[in-house]
Amino acid sequence: MPLQGTVFNIQRFSTHDGPGIRTTVFLKGCPLRCLWCANPESQVLAPQLMTRDIKCTGCGACVEACSRGAIVLSVDHGRIIHRDQCDLCFECVDACLYKALSVAGELKTPESVMETVKRDEVFYRNSGGGVTFSGGEPLVQHDFLYEVLAACRQEGFHTALDTTGHAPPRVLEKILPLADLALFDIKHLDPAQHKILTGVDNKLILENARLAANITRTWFRLPLMGGVNDSEEEISRVAAMAREWGVEKISLLPFHQGGEPKWAQVGLKSPGFVGHTPDDEHVERLAQIIRDNGIVAGIRS
Amino acid sequence: MTTMRPKGNIQDKLVNKAVRNIRKGGNQEDPGKSMYQPGVKLDLQRSVLLTQAYRETEGQPMVLRRAKALDKILSSMDLYIQDHERIVGNNVSTPSGLYFGIDMAWRSVRRVVDQEEGKSLLDDAGRKTLDELIAYWDGKAMSDIQQKTFTGEILESWKFENSGAMSWSHWSELGIPDYEKVFKVGVKGLMDQARARLDEIDRTVPPDYVDQKEFLQAVLISMEATLKYAKRYGALALEKAAAATDPEDKARLESIARTCSRVPEHPPQTLQEALQSFFFLHVIRYIEYSTLGIGVRFDKVFGPYLEKDLKNGVLTRDQALELLQLLWVKFHELGLIYSPSLSAIYGGVASLQAITLGGVDENGEDVTNDMTYLVLECAETMRTPEPTIALRYHDGTPRELLSRATDVIKTGIGYPSFFNDKAILPLLKKWDAPLKDSRDYAISGCVYLEIPGKNIARRAYGGIVLPAALYYALNQGKSQFTGKIVGAKTPDPRTFQSADDLMDAYSAQVEFFAKRLCTLENTSQTLYEKYLPRPFYSALLEGCIEQGKESKKFTYPSAVVNLCIMIGPTNVGDSITAVKKVVFDDKKVSMDALLKAMDANWKGYEDIRQLMVNAPKYGNDDDYADAISAQVQTRTAQAMAKAKTRFGLPCRGDGSGLSATYAAGSIIPATPEGRYSGEPFADATLSPVFGMDQNGPTAVLKSASKTSTVDSYNHLMNQKFLPQALEGNMKEVFVDYIRSWGDLGISQIQFNVVDKQTLLAAQEKPEDYPDLLVRVAGYSAYFVDLSKGLQDSIIARTDQSF
């Protein structure tokens, strides 16, 4: 059995995940459970059935295709999927003509990922771009990630790793030497708050951040939730840390409520997090604090 | 020169003479909308003077009659100089007039001025004059002559409605005069050359002595008339200067008078003289013959004059910019009357004028200079639908120029569009143009490729609706309207063994219609040669005076002379792909079931339609779909090449779909890619079908790059971006995107940068958005002048967001 990874999206023409025009490879699986998660289909490692009810015509083709009887038609609600009876054979996906059913997460070999990644080589070359690995937490599938990063290096592609930083340090030590850039998420500096917001403590993450900056060029990425992690004091502390560790840039990513509908599409209950988007003036003030520390500040990039 | 006027003032002088499109195919759309802005009038002076001249010259050789008619018009047409002008001249007698080629066609114009949509174009006295003129032209105008000439099957195929697969029209020509030569020797020099040729044939007495002599005499009459016209303007300027009280105004008028006393007779010495010389020739070309486009390589031709003036202190940069802005106002005064059915093809067009910037000189060196940047600044401040700017791209194009061009694109005006030397020079080579000539190529209007000064004068003589050819391939050539065979009799599709059989049948249909179209055009070209010779324009082309031959009597020896508009190749590509995938590879639907579903316009067959829609589509960097699309393009070009011009050159396509991609779809039944009957086709020859490109803008370019320009024809490709995609840091990414497009060797690209909300708002409240420009096809137009349906098709283009 060849090495395979579970990939839930390959986004070409990414322009916000590192320099230039990039292809971002999204790997499934994540140890964190952030309340604001915009890609809930990325959390579980295994492939999942995704629904788009808006496209469902109630034709019943999926009901016929399902050997387990996990799908039933109802007069009021179109088709209903009993996920507890589903064995993830995805026959229903093939049967659906209207693309109202899809699979989140496809098993791919490194060669297959590279086949897609290579397609935009001309754009990387002209723009100083390359390939970004994101998730989920890409380090979850570190064996697969290692293979693909090594293949990218072979091709001469610039690579970036977008990571939560929650992984054993030996994994970082194995992977980061192959990445030209680490995009390292810092979600909150307070351990208790961090645990509430993401489900995990931040001690390992902060230690790994220092480790990352030691190994490769590193940028911090801060998802900004109004009133949660966007105080001037918090940003000052992150900036000071960044300066001390030699981090080059801090990107401020103001929160958006975009991921909400996806929870139901993978059959999960949304944590119901209602976030606030910090206003532009405030974000600009925070950026200035970062610049005052001699660090490049990016807003939404 | 005097101090600079505020830019707003110059913009206020713009007259919108673009025709509004009020027809979709043969049907009326948006009833109650008039074809032109209020205040725009049909100008009859040219027609009156032309008619007088024709009456006075009955029985004389045609080429001399045409020259004498031009002389009559240029000697007597009313002239005007407006208070803001520095560049003067027009093809009509007032700033708000529309050109009318009564010698070309008059019937549709006669109808228009009586109908609600065109009533305001003439008053009652004007209508009476028009009737008197028509009494003379009835039976003599070109379209009357054509109607008498075309008979039998040819006459049948002329009528678009009979097949819906091809349309031919007797409309204007483009072409690019050799301005550089005129600037070198002056009109005076051209006349010397004509006289020398006359002397020569007097000595050698060639077999066509009489033809040559008449032509050369006609050249001299036309050139004399040109000088007369310029001198009349000089006199008018002096007269007005004498009456002027404001010293600045007096100086302005005196400078016009000085300029008109020197050019176009002599080589220009300053930028103002060069621009004026060019503009006189431009409008006289329009007066002589129904004409569109510009095509001049603006920076290459005018850059040296700007440089010299700046160096000698004749002009400041701001004053030069003002001169350009005033010239842009003049371009806008060149409007012409369209028939309602042509408005469906040329929706939002005035005179389809385009200029060219950048590219290489004859030695392959980049030509970018100060003028390149000044033109972009002029475009950015004026925001006019015409002239559109074609920017030639090559490896040596400065990044700074791309960056400035991006600023202009960001305003949403739809230009500059980019033309790739890396694709077009090899194409011209394949079409047998020498390298020195092809390095000088320019875009005259839309995406029409031409070579300045060569005897090319392209004409969009017609178009082939490729999905209609596919329809006939699936229906054995049988008309949907009459049941009669109107296409090629190809085999029953139920007998097809593979998608290749469908491709073969499609090719046979394209060849059939291309040959029909060429027969019409070749016959028509002979009529133009006989009845509408162009001694003035011929004198501005290489080879005419030298051989004593009018331009229609020979040809530039390259397929670049032909131009047939291609509509819907990517719809055909997606259709054949879907048939291959669903019918032949997966065998999920039989050909018979598919034909029944399409006959029913998919009604009751939604499951079949979904299978066709879900098949791979061009525009996603999917090799399965892209390979078939690329094959459709080359097979189409090969089929068309079997049709020949009257000089034996192969018939070639052109990517300019104009707004016809929208109109042509209206009478074509459902097609296999899942399109419903009547829906528009993809908006350009390399554009994916609306909404089918799902993998972003890099994948679209990759798909497009798989079509060989060299093995097909020059293309057009629209991309729609949201404004934020060009702002801040993203601007550099956009420039990198353009450079990647260049490396991929795609022949053309152009951008609509406007968000959907703005377009929807403009549709809702047109009165709030009178100046909103959008890119339609190879040209830009005011959004509110377009019909609802055409507006919808522009809104439907997929947004590429960053």
pLDDT tens, position by position, B783-797: 877 877 778 877 877
Q: What is the pLDDT of residue B7?
A: 44
pLDDT tens, position by position, B599-642: 999 999 999 999 999 999 999 999 999 999 999 999 999 999 99
A147-155 contacts, C-beta under 8 A, 24 or more apart: A147/A3, A147/A110, A148/A5, A148/A25, A148/A110, A148/A113, A148/A114, A148/A117, A149/A175, A149/A178, A149/A179, A150/A178, A151/A110, A151/A111, A151/A114, A152/A114, A152/A117, A152/A178, A153/A178, A155/A114, A155/A118, A155/A121
Q: How far, in Å, CA of B268 to CA of B533, rounded?
A: 28
Which pair of tokens denotes residue B150?
Answer: 């075309």
β-strands A218-224, A249-254 pairing: parallel
Q: How far, in Å, CA of A40 to CA of A62, rounded?
A: 24
Residue B403 contacts A, CB cutoff 8 Å: no
How far is the alpha carbon of B422 from chain A, nearest alpha carbon, in Å?
Answer: 15
pLDDT tens, position by position, B372-401: 999 999 999 999 888 999 999 999 999 999
Residue A58 contacts B, CB cutoff 8 Å: no
Q: What is the pLDDT of residue B346?
A: 64
List alpha helices for chain A, DSSP H.
61-65, 91-95, 110-117, 121-127, 142-155, 169-175, 191-198, 203-215, 232-245, 260-265, 280-292
How far is the alpha carbon of B699 from chain A, nearest alpha carbon, in Å?
Answer: 8
Q: How far, in Å, CA of A299 to CA of B792, rounded?
A: 35
Buried b (16+ CB within 10 A) or exposed e, B408-432: bbbbbbbbbbbbbbbbbbbbbeebe
Interface of B with A in 600-629 (CB under 8 A): 607, 610-611, 614, 621
Q: Select from A12, A99, A128 the Cβ nearest to the Cβ of B698.
A: A12
> Do residue A127 and residue B733 have CB atoms under 8 angstroms apart?
yes
Do B703 and B626 contact (CB within 8 A), yes or no? yes
Identity at B434, one-letter amino acid code: P
Q: How far, in Å, CA of B742 to CA of B740, rounded?
A: 5
Residue of chain B with shortest Cα separation from A97: B610
What's the pLDDT band for B344 if we cut at 50, 70, 90?
low
Residue A9 contacts B, CB cutoff 8 Å: no
What would the DSSP string read from start to end of B631-689? HHHHHHHHHHHTSB-TTSPBP-EES--TTHHHHHGGG---BTTTBPTTPPPPSSTTSPS
Residue A99 contacts B, CB cutoff 8 Å: yes
Q: Report chain B's mean pLDDT, rounded to a whole number.
A: 91
> Do residue B614 and residue A97 have CB atoms under 8 angstroms apart?
yes
Q: 3-state class of B764 per DSSP? A: helix
Residues of chain A with pLDDT under 70: 1, 77, 257-258
Give CA angle at B661 (B659, B666), nearest 5°. Answer: 105
Which pair of tokens denotes residue A76?
Answer: 């009021």
Q: 3-state class of B122 per DSSP? A: coil
Residue B393, beta-bridge partner list: B420
Length of chain B: 802
Q: What is the pLDDT of residue B527?
A: 94
Please give the sequence-ordered ranges of beta strands (E in DSSP) within B208-316, or none if there are none: none
Which pair of tokens denotes residue B301?
Answer: 């031709």
Residues of A in contact with B719 (CB under 8 A): none
Q: 3-state class of A258 per DSSP? A: coil
Q: How far, in Å, CA of B655 to CA of B431, rounded?
A: 16
Burial-class residue B698 by CB neighbours within 10 Å (0-12, 13-18, 19+): buried
**ipTM score here?**
0.94
How far is the alpha carbon of B767 from chain A, nearest alpha carbon, in Å?
Answer: 33
Do B513 and B487 contact (CB within 8 A), yes or no? yes
How far is the alpha carbon of B740 from chain A, nearest alpha carbon, in Å?
Answer: 6
Kind and range of the H or E element at B599?
A: helix B591-599
Q: What is the pLDDT of residue A144?
A: 98
Pick from A15, A56, A59, A117 the residue to mutate for testing the B interface (most B CBs within 10 Å).
Answer: A15
Residues of B in contact with A20 (CB under 8 A): 733, 736
Q: How far, in Å, CA of B607 to CA of B629, rounded?
A: 24
Do B130 and B110 contact (CB within 8 A), yes or no? yes
Q: What is the pLDDT of residue B659?
A: 67
Residue B699 contacts A, CB cutoff 8 Å: yes
What's the pLDDT band for B23 if we cut at 50, 70, 90?
low
Q: What is the pLDDT of residue B30?
A: 61
Q: How far, in Å, CA of B664 to CA of B641, rounded?
A: 23
Residue A231 contacts B, CB cutoff 8 Å: no
Residues of A in contact with B674 (CB under 8 A): none
Do A84 and A28 contact (CB within 8 A), yes or no? no
Residues of B in contact with A123 (CB under 8 A): 698, 736-737, 740
β-strands A22-27, A5-14 pairing: antiparallel
Q: 3-state class of B753 per DSSP? A: strand
pLDDT tens, position by position, B632-685: 999 999 999 999 999 999 999 988 876 677 778 888 999 999 999 999 999 889
Residue A20 contacts B, CB cutoff 8 Å: yes
Whether the pLDDT of residue B163 is over 70: the answer is yes
Residues of A in contact with B743 (CB under 8 A): 122, 125-126
How far is the alpha carbon of B234 from chain A, nearest alpha carbon, in Å?
Answer: 53
Closest CA to A54 of A89, A86, A98, A93: A98
DSSP-assigned letter for residue B583: I
DSSP-assigned letter for residue A156: T
Tell me how far apart the terminal alpha carbons of chain B are, to the nearest angstrom.
Answer: 46
pLDDT tens, position by position, A240-264: 999 999 999 999 998 876 677 788 8
The alpha carbon torsion through B273, B279, B281, B282 (nearest 10 deg) reads: 160
Backbone angles phi, psi at A184, to 5 degrees: -105, 120
What CA–CA distances, in Å, run from B331 to B20, B102, B135, B526, B740? Answer: 18, 22, 33, 31, 34
List alpha helices for B38-165, DSSP H.
45-56, 62-76, 107-114, 124-137, 142-149, 152-158, 160-163
Residues of A in contact with B604 (CB under 8 A): none
Kind and range of the H or E element at B11?
A: helix B7-12
pLDDT tens, position by position, B265-307: 999 999 999 999 999 999 999 999 999 999 999 999 999 999 9
Backbone angles phi, psi at A224, to 5 degrees: -100, 115
Residues of A in contact with B607 (CB under 8 A): 59, 97
Buried b (16+ CB within 10 A) or exposed e, A123-155: bbbbbebbbbbbbbbbbbbbebbbbbbebbeee
DSSP-assigned letter for residue B173: B
Please state, as a whole number, how many other Cβ atoms lie within 10 Å of the Cβ of residue B166: 27
Please state, as a whole number, how many other Cβ atoms lie within 10 Å of the Cβ of residue B434: 12
> Do residue A12 and residue B736 have CB atoms under 8 angstroms apart?
no
pLDDT tens, position by position, B444-459: 988 889 999 999 977 7
Residues of B in contact with A15 (CB under 8 A): 730, 733, 802
Residue of chain A with shortest Cα separation from B615: A97
Predicted TM-score (pTM) above 0.90: yes
DSSP-assigned letter for residue B485: B
> Do residue A15 and residue B736 have CB atoms under 8 angstroms apart?
no
What would the DSSP string read from start to end of B58-74? TTS-HHHHHHHHHHHHH
Buried b (16+ CB within 10 A) or exposed e, A175-213: bbebbbbbbbbbbbbeeeebeebbebebeebbebbebbb
Q: Select from B611, B739, B744 the Cβ nearest to the Cβ of A97.
A: B611
**Is the peptide bond preceding residue B387 cis, with omega within 30 degrees of 0?**
yes
> Do residue A123 and residue B736 have CB atoms under 8 angstroms apart?
yes
Do B473 and B490 contact (CB within 8 A), yes or no? yes
Do B780 and B790 contact (CB within 8 A), yes or no? no
Do B79 and B260 contact (CB within 8 A), yes or no? no
Residue B558, beta-bridge partner list: none
A49: Cβ contacts below 8 Å, ≥ 6 apart: A81, A83, A86, A88, A90, A92, A93, A101, A102, A103, A104, A266, A267
pLDDT tens, position by position, B719-772: 888 887 788 888 999 999 999 999 999 999 999 888 888 888 888 888 778 777
How far is the alpha carbon of B601 from chain A, nearest alpha carbon, in Å?
Answer: 18
Backbone angles phi, psi at B351, to 5 degrees: -125, 15
Q: What is the pLDDT of residue B802?
A: 45
Please state, as a whole number, how many other Cβ atoms lie within 10 Å of the Cβ of residue B489: 11
Length of chain A: 301
Give CA angle at B530 (B527, B535), nearest 5°. Answer: 120
- pLDDT (average), residues B16-36: 65
What's the pLDDT band for B19 if we cut at 50, 70, 90?
confident
